[in-house]
Structure 1
Amino acid sequence: MNQHYLHAMFHPQSVAVIGASNRDESVGGVVFRNMRCNGFQGKLYAVNPNHAEIQGYQAFASVEQIPGPVDLAVIITRAALVPGIIEECGKRGVRFALVLSAGFRETGTQGALLERAVIDNAHRYGIRLIGPNCLGILCPASGLNATFSNGSVPAGNLALISQSGAFCTSIMDWAKPNGVGFSCIVSMGAAASMDFGEMLDYLATDRLTDSILLYIEGIQNARRFMSALRATARIKPIFIVKAGRHAAGSAAAFSHTGALVGADDVFEAALQRAGVVRVETIVQLFSAAKALAAHFRPGGNRLAIVTNGGGPGVMAADRVADLGVAIATLADETLQQLDTQLPDTWSRGNPLDIIGDATAERYRHAISGCMQDAGVDGVLVILTPQAMTNPLEVANTVVETAAQFNKPLIACWMGEVQVTESRQVFDRAKIPNFRTPEPAVEVFSFISAYYQNQQLLLQTPGPLAHHSEPDEEGARLLIESALAEHRKILSEVESKAILAAFRISIAKALVAHSPNEALVIAEELGFPVVMKIHSPDITHKSDTGGIRLNVGNAQAVRSAYQEILQSVQKHSPNARIEGIVVEPMIIKPNGRELMVGVTTDAVFGPVITFGAGGVLVDVLGDRAVALPPLNRFLTKDMIQRTHIAKLLGQFRHMPAIDIAALENILLRVSEMVCELPWIKEMDINPLIVDEHGACAVDARIIVDYLPPSADRYAHMAIHPYPTHLITHWQLADGTDLIIRPIRPEDAEIEQDFVRGLSAESKYFRFMDTLQELSQTMLVRFTQIDYDREMALIAVLQQDNREKELGVCRYIASADGQSCEFALVVADEWQNKGIGNKLMSCLFDAARAKGIRIMEGEVLEANHAMLELVRRLGFARTVSAEDVSIMRVVKQL
């Protein structure tokens, strides 16, 4: 309910520019001039010990000499001076700082030490700091232009956060002539103190911001980044350009910002899972910005194309196919209607070629028909200047027609001289328009992908996806035993034992230490068998001749044993040989060889991989990646993103595989990743799957020591649904309740719960007279990020559905040390101990996250709540802002 603490940074009442200058072209001179000339209404102070006056303003020798309070300090000095200046600001009570100065970690070891001193001083005094080495921030609504760019931007509803100051200046220069306004522009620089996560938290609550653009070179805190990204994307569209997609770009990004850059396909998977959209170029981001500024909101990806030229329509359709956008199929009713309105020679399909002599009225009929078709999600209108068509008249008609419908429309007026006025018409109407079909299709694909990715965002799987519990303790003991022996590479037998502990079907494997022992094992398992070298130093056994397949009799077993040893000693003479693994030969005539694995990304932690297996894994490079935890929706999506997916269904004489068995393997691997944080790498290759099930034929697991952490899922970028917080509880009258964390699918029972509250209870909880939750509030309350907040609901099973009886929640502050809570219980279920039990569970959840202080606001008239918090040990004080509100605080 409170205003975000960063609001004062973007809307300060007073700003001190430390390093302000009279030299017009110096950074200090430009920043101070921008602050003077862009409508800032607060108090502006110049700080420069060498001048009595700066640009007509009194200059102060230091921050300490400024007579009034200072909300924001903008620092433009030599890097060596910055730590001392931050300390002065801290003593002076300055809450926020922008460090535009360069010369820190990007310059090497000494610069990194200097940066550390800056951050330590900022933390000591509680200063929130952007930079160093940044362009600054700009907020048109408050007249704040604390940047060294030339010019400003119009106010609007887009926000831009960028690690590149040059990118900010480029988009600022582009914005005004393109009619795009911004709520704020933030240059993060090195993001040494305040990162993308904190900025996104603020923008999620900022009423001036509708959509967000990000330019990213690297991420420092993946958990915080993903947490903030997912929380914000539930409310506002986010589009991202990520630099460093390839090795050379990654190296450049590291030298620029000093940030880690992970594998690009992992980053892509993370963004999709967060419900945001990635664009590849700055031009595409500009185009997306234009569409977002126009409140462009498609509900799907089925595009209709209306054109007066066959060629451009085909070009657009080709680009549609390239991007995986769907060409809308027009309904029979639509085709019949258009047949009565269009000439006989029209294309009678999509693209709708309405012929080169198309009039404005013909365009109107074609567009209206598409907009009214339930199978169409958006329309691309193309015009090529021809003698029989008036571009301006058609443009006006298109604007008028588009205004009658809610579906998005994109214009592509090809050419230049004859269509200039038409483009101006579209700009005034806020209709995205382009010179060629391809970028128009791209924009539709980007914006529609946002809504598709929202389906991935809604998935909140728990760490365990199955009803049959794994033997987690047994697997943990195996790993700890290996680490105790200073081994990080588990043997095939150990690796398969861990898979078996998580209920993954394996090809049983035993180790033989002599030819006779191999023969005994083969007789026990049954012929034919597979024999493999058992060595911690050999990863690819076939490369050393360390595998023999289809060994069919006793004599062959003895021969194969010796042949494997000789071959391995020849190819890898220094390899340690610990025996020969003998296992059954898995014969599946309809089997497909697949690979399921785990890798650890430098930024996002554990990543699950899936693709073609066997020897093809290195040749084809066919893999899809996903961040755990997974559920069936996510596993299906992962499988479909691979080329091998086309071979898993029925074709020719081959029956379709048991796809549920494959999904179960992926879910089990997800469980392993969640519950066994020691796993750093794993290969199940091949995993043979046919119509009868799946079997892990070979497996290899690499583990490593784990630093201690209070958070059991600290190794993961996405926090799983916290099933360990589910509690079964019984009221005094014997009524059985469940207290559990809220899920996105609880939206309906949450809305019913709020609707059922009395007017007084609603007012006490929301301090407002709302009747029900808005869609935005409902999303915000049910689609939470369990890393930074928690909402526990008490539910009763009633008539085969759950009924919500009460809910409590906390949201952690930026420092992670304190949180704000809220609680409400249904009127008819009050005074039964539910509120007390909910709060007790909430205390435990907060403590487990390292939170030390819980606080909240209670209306003075809410006597029942005040009595409850008194019993729970909260201290109470009257709010300094409003005497009708009590501030309650508890040390956890």
Structure 2
Amino acid sequence: MPEHNLEALFTPAAVAVIGASATPGKVGHSVVANLVEAGYQGEIFPVNPKGGEVLGLPVVQDIASLPSPLDLAVVCIPPRGVTDAVRQLAQLPVRAVIVITAGFKETGREGYYLEQELTSIAREKNIALLGPNCLGLNNTACGLNATFAAGQPRQGNIAFFSQSGALCTAILDWALGENIGFSSFISLGNKAVLDESDMLEHMRDDAQTNVILGYMESVDDGVRFMRVAREVTREKPVIVIKSGTTAAGAKAASSHTGAMAGSEQAYAAAFAQSGIMRARDVATLFNLAQAFSMQPLPEGPNLCIVTNSGGPGIMAADACERSNLLISPLSAATVERLGTFLPPFASFYNPVDIIGDADAERYRKTLEAVAQDELVHAVLVLLTPTASAQIEETARAVADVAATSDKPVFACFMGQERVGPGRELLLKAGVPCYGFPEPAIHSIETMYRHAMWKARPKALEMSIIRDATRAAEVVDKARRRGCVEIVEFQAQELLKAYGLPLPETELARTSEEAVAIAERIGYPVVVKIASPQISHKSDVGGVRVGLGDAGAVRGAFMDVTSRAQRLRKDAFISGCLVQAMAPKGAKEVIVGFKRDPQFGPLVMFGLGGVYVEVLKDIAFRLAPLSKTDAHDMIREIRSYPLLRGVRGEAPVDFGAIEDILLTMSQLAVDIPDIFEAEFNPILVDNNGATVADVRVTLCTN
């Protein structure tokens, strides 16, 4: 596999630049210049038919004259010559290639086929190919700057990969201004061979990398990405910006699940299930990067805030209240210790307000006291530039305490001009410093969530006992009938094959049959229209509930069938389903899934019936679900307290709902021919759950 040659890509012994130029401003010149200026210690071979020299390096006139074998070649010639150049490089052979050249699949049909040819060559010859249409790669540990970007990033412990070369240049320039260092900086481009999963695997094993950042627009193999990400995030934090997640242009869906399960939900579920942390903007991305790269993870949620001003302390406390962190009380011993040196009108409790005339020594003593408190898991230091504030001295005091503490310490120096030198001191000392309390709290909370993720036992996938052959027959029969949708009265056998709890249900073709069935089931009953063409029964008034006697059943049958025939002249009416009523007080929930093109089945859960459309209070996870996934989905929706029971109500049977979620997940994995499915409503009380209605849509290709 090409990933076996990633070592040659990141730490090559020699680099050839195909299309090197002596003319400043050309890409081929910039790449050679960056390699030289970065202090790359390996051999550099500029390649150009014209010969001569580039920056004092002798030019090799053709690829065949390069030393063999070769670790890395950087290709920056016009697109029509790229595939021939890579073929020639493969003959050396070459282990890794960076194709900076644009003009491939991003340009249309011709470029697409050109890229396919390039991919075939690389895969056949086991070449680790980065790009095409990329900025290049920078590995600061060995001085490898094989990019045409302006500026040399400083060395650090943060790795960054991006699908956008333009964003790479902007972030690189911003990082230079903020004095942020990188271990490696990778532009993926079109991802013809190497993608984000390959980068995650490399960065996991890279001793120079402590934190992994990424900008993503799409994932081609979502299943592999999640598998790799789950492994990597157990060892190193992965923080990603994901763009392009709107549902515009998505395939039209006929169910509630299909309408609500878009690309955004799939990526959010993928990140949640694989431990990836998501940043919504570049500033947050690097706020988090600094926090993770500089400080240890908190061992718990308890945060102590130390401030010289009440207002910012309250702002921080408010932000903490909106997070998973806790403003914990300090121990009695710490409060007593603070009382020995703080002014009597200071606040000895959390937040600790050491008031506006606090000098650096007061900060130092306070921080030493709270950092040693066993009830405290992290410390946030707030400073406003009062007239008495000793900004640089306080920064040094904070840095000293942080250096000797095994707990994470963060700072928030509010202001700009006066506090600037203090912020610089803190960042150089490895203490994250923010301009406002809210991003500081967000960073601490994110670190705490990552600590919980690392401590969480690995999820165990569940296997449901089912009759797969029986289920496949139901789908095959529908295919043979030319159906794209399997509606309730046809889908009963599918549910029975998976052992799902169903209310007693029979198909009646006449009103008298309906009465006879109702007598057998026992009143009250539900009557529903049965038609292969009618999936949304309520749209045609096709459901009657609470029917308590023969006359009500007979009248409902006649009314439902005649209304359906009048409103849907295209529909074949098979009759009506007669179904047992749910127990009084049962609540309605919905479970469904839609097949995502990148990640596979996306399972959803929420309140059922009409509430799903109105509230859109939905939780999503990708199949296959673990027991933990099913547990978390139920408790993630805002309406969870209604299921838990209010005003003396008994809680619903959560175990029964979890079983149905796990069964839906198994169904989605087992039968790839199903595009989407929905159980709505599922009627649940404290004694169990039943699937009262079902719809299944088959794939059309």
Report TM bin, short chain.
over 0.9
Residue 610 (str. 1) matches residue 605 (str. 2): yes
Residue 521 (str. 1) matches residue 517 (str. 2): yes
Task: Tell me the equivalent position of 2:291.
Answer: 291
Task: Tell me the equivalent position of 1:325.
Answer: 325
Whether the 8 Å contact between 2:459 and 2:627 is mirrored in structure 1 is no
The offset of 1:437, in angstroms, is: 1.1
Whether the 8 Å contact between 2:223 and 2:600 is mirrored in structure 1 is no
Q: Rate the CA distance shift 1:338–1:249 in 2: closer, same or farther, 3 A.
A: farther
Residue 60 (str. 1) matches residue 60 (str. 2): yes
Within 5 A, what are the aligned runs for 1:554-633? 554-589=550-585, 591-633=586-628
Whether the 8 Å contact between 2:5 and 2:95 is mirrored in structure 1 is no
Deviation track 1:430-458 (CA, whole Å, cap 9, x = no partner) reads 100011111111211222222233356x4
Q: Rate the CA distance shift 1:375–1:482 in 2: closer, same or farther, 3 A.
A: farther
Task: Tell me the equivalent position of 1:422.
Answer: 422
The offset of 1:573, in angstroms, is: 2.6
The offset of 1:131, in angstroms, is: 0.5
Question: Distance in 2 between the 1:136 and 1:235 partners?
Answer: 26
Whether the 8 Å contact between 1:130 and 1:189 is mirrored in structure 2 is yes
Whether the 8 Å contact between 1:14 and 1:69 is mirrored in structure 2 is no
Question: Distance in 1 between the 2:369 and 2:537 partners?
Answer: 63
Question: Distance in 1 between the 2:342 and 2:495 partners?
Answer: 64
Q: Rate the CA distance shift 1:575–1:705 in 2: closer, same or farther, 3 A.
A: closer
| Greater displacement, 138-147 / 671-680 | 671-680
Question: Distance in 1 between the 2:637 and 2:348 partners?
Answer: 35
Whether the 8 Å contact between 2:5 and 2:127 is mirrored in structure 1 is no
**Aligned-residue CA RMSD in angstroms?**
2.4
Task: Tell me the equivalent position of 1:553.
Answer: 549
Q: Deviating runs (4+, > 6 A) in structure 1?
A: 248-251
Q: Rate the CA distance shift 1:672–1:247 in 2: closer, same or farther, 3 A.
A: closer
- The amino acid of 1:684's aligned partner reads F
Task: Tell me the equivalent position of 2:459.
Answer: 460
Within 5 A, what are the aligned runs for 1:351-390? 351-390=351-390
Structure 2 unmatched ranges of 5 or more: 252-260
Question: Percent identity over the alignment?
Answer: 38
Question: Distance in 1 between the 2:376 and 2:500 partners?
Answer: 44
Task: Tell me the equivalent position of 1:776.
Answer: none
The offset of 1:367, in angstroms, is: 2.5
- The amino acid of 1:429's aligned partner reads A
Structure 1 unmatched ranges of 5 or more: 252-260, 707-892
The offset of 1:407, in angstroms, is: 0.9
Task: Tell me the equivalent position of 1:273.
Answer: 273
Task: Tell me the equivalent position of 2:258.
Answer: none
- Which of residues 478, 486, 489 in structure 2 aligns to 1:490? 486
Within 5 A, what are the aligned runs for 1:780-859? none
Within 5 A, what are the aligned runs for 1:6-17? 6-17=6-17
Whether the 8 Å contact between 1:530 and 1:583 is mirrored in structure 2 is yes
The offset of 1:363, in angstroms, is: 2.5
- Which of residues 525, 533, 540 in structure 1 aligns to 2:536? 540
Within 5 A, what are the aligned runs for 1:30-109? 30-109=30-109
Question: Distance in 2 between the 1:247 and 1:608 partners?
Answer: 17
- TM-score, reference length from structure 2: 0.93
Deviation track 1:785-820 (CA, whole Å, cap 9, x = no partner) reads xxxxxxxxxxxxxxxxxxxxxxxxxxxxxxxxxxxx
The offset of 1:610, in angstroms, is: 0.7
Q: Rate the CA distance shift 1:389–1:33 in 2: closer, same or farther, 3 A.
A: closer
Q: Rate the CA distance shift 1:331–1:563 in 2: closer, same or farther, 3 A.
A: farther
Question: Distance in 1 between the 2:347 and 2:670 partners?
Answer: 58
Aligned partner of residue 208 in structure 1, secondary structure: coil
Question: Distance in 2 between the 1:618 and 1:574 partners?
Answer: 27
Within 5 A, what are the aligned runs for 1:133-148? 133-148=133-148
Whether the 8 Å contact between 2:247 and 2:264 is mirrored in structure 1 is no
The offset of 1:497, in angstroms, is: 3.2
| Greater displacement, 190-199 / 128-137 | 190-199
- Which of residues 682, 685, 690 in structure 2 aligns to 1:690? 685
Question: Distance in 1 between the 2:589 and 2:455 partners?
Answer: 27
- The amino acid of 1:566's aligned partner reads S
Task: Tell me the equivalent position of 1:167.
Answer: 167
Question: Distance in 2 between the 1:397 and 1:8 partners?
Answer: 45
Task: Tell me the equivalent position of 2:155.
Answer: 155
Task: Tell me the equivalent position of 2:638.
Answer: 643
The offset of 1:517, in angstroms, is: 1.7
- The amino acid of 1:28's aligned partner reads G
The offset of 1:22, in angstroms, is: 1.9
Aligned partner of residue 157 in structure 2, secondary structure: strand
The offset of 1:332, in angstroms, is: 4.6
Aligned partner of residue 312 in structure 2, secondary structure: helix
- The amino acid of 2:578's aligned partner reads V
Deviation track 1:224-260 (CA, whole Å, cap 9, x = no partner) reads 2112212222221111111124357999xxxxxxxxx
Question: Distance in 2 between the 1:656 and 1:74 partners?
Answer: 63
- The amino acid of 2:468's aligned partner reads E
Question: Distance in 1 between the 2:490 and 2:375 partners?
Answer: 53
Task: Tell me the equivalent position of 2:305.
Answer: 305
- The amino acid of 2:588's aligned partner reads E
Q: Rate the CA distance shift 1:506–1:335 in 2: closer, same or farther, 3 A.
A: farther
Whether the 8 Å contact between 1:4 and 1:202 is mirrored in structure 2 is no
The offset of 1:262, in angstroms, is: 6.1
Task: Tell me the equivalent position of 2:257.
Answer: none
Task: Tell me the equivalent position of 2:676.
Answer: 681
Whether the 8 Å contact between 2:5 and 2:96 is mirrored in structure 1 is no
Residue 240 (str. 1) matches residue 235 (str. 2): no
Question: Distance in 2 between the 1:279 and 1:249 partners?
Answer: 25
Q: Rate the CA distance shift 1:299–1:250 in 2: closer, same or farther, 3 A.
A: farther
Whether the 8 Å contact between 1:181 and 1:293 is mirrored in structure 2 is no
Q: Rate the CA distance shift 1:335–1:682 in 2: closer, same or farther, 3 A.
A: farther
Aligned length: 690
The offset of 1:574, in angstroms, is: 2.0
- Which of residues 510, 527, 535 in structure 2 aligns to 1:531? 527
Aligned partner of residue 71 in structure 1, secondary structure: strand
Q: Rate the CA distance shift 1:302–1:500 in 2: closer, same or farther, 3 A.
A: farther
Deviation track 1:860-881 (CA, whole Å, cap 9, x = no partner) reads xxxxxxxxxxxxxxxxxxxxxx
The offset of 1:620, in angstroms, is: 0.8
Aligned partner of residue 485 in structure 2, secondary structure: coil
The offset of 1:67, in angstroms, is: 4.4
Q: Rate the CA distance shift 1:676–1:345 in 2: closer, same or farther, 3 A.
A: farther
- The amino acid of 1:674's aligned partner reads V
Question: Distance in 2 between the 1:611 and 1:455 partners?
Answer: 28
Task: Tell me the equivalent position of 1:478.
Answer: 474
Deviation track 1:267-325 (CA, whole Å, cap 9, x = no partner) reads 11211211221111111111122223314422333322221112112222222233443
The offset of 1:415, in angstroms, is: 1.5
| Greater displacement, 664-673 / 199-208 | 664-673
Aligned partner of residue 60 in structure 1, secondary structure: coil
Aligned partner of residue 418 in structure 2, secondary structure: helix
Whether the 8 Å contact between 1:529 and 1:551 is mirrored in structure 2 is yes
Question: Distance in 2 between the 1:317 and 1:245 partners?
Answer: 33
- The amino acid of 2:477's aligned partner reads S
Whether the 8 Å contact between 1:276 and 1:453 is mirrored in structure 2 is no
Task: Tell me the equivalent position of 1:510.
Answer: 506
Question: Distance in 1 between the 2:490 and 2:373 partners?
Answer: 59
Aligned partner of residue 232 in structure 2, secondary structure: helix
Deviation track 1:638-676 (CA, whole Å, cap 9, x = no partner) reads 222101112122321322222222222223323333334
Q: Rate the CA distance shift 1:544–1:250 in 2: closer, same or farther, 3 A.
A: closer
Question: Distance in 2 between the 1:350 and 1:485 partners?
Answer: 69
